[in-house]
Amino acid sequence: MTISTLVLAAINAPHSKQLDAQALVFCLKNPAAAKTMPGHMSAFFGEVDTYSQKEFAHQFGISDAELVASAKAFSSYSGEHYPIAA
């Protein structure tokens, strides 16, 4: 299985609405979009391991700095604390 497949399986498992890779990337790049998918984003930052988060992001041209900024923005919105945002 690819990193994308594993990540998407993890974030989509508990939700009836399924995100594809491009939708997740859009949410990672756009804090307003991330807020519309709080369950998926919480699963991504809270349940997917940091290595897999970075690998997924890198596949779609998202740098570590951009990923951390996304995690921090979502953490601020959700009130949750995520390892990658520390």
CB 38 within 8 A of CB 78: yes
Reported as a single tens digit per residue, the pLDDT across 4-60 is 999 999 999 989 999 999 999 999 999 999 999 999 999 999 999 999 999 999 999
Backbone angles phi, psi at 15, to 5 degrees: -120, 145
Is the model's pLDDT at 1 over the cut of 90?
no
How many whole angstroms separate alpha carbon 45 and alpha carbon 57? 12
Which residue type is seen at 63? S
Q: What is the pTM of this model?
A: 0.95
pLDDT at 61 over 90: yes
Count structural domains, the chain.
1
Domain limits at 77?
A: 3-11+19-85
Closest CA to 56 of 30, 86, 22: 22
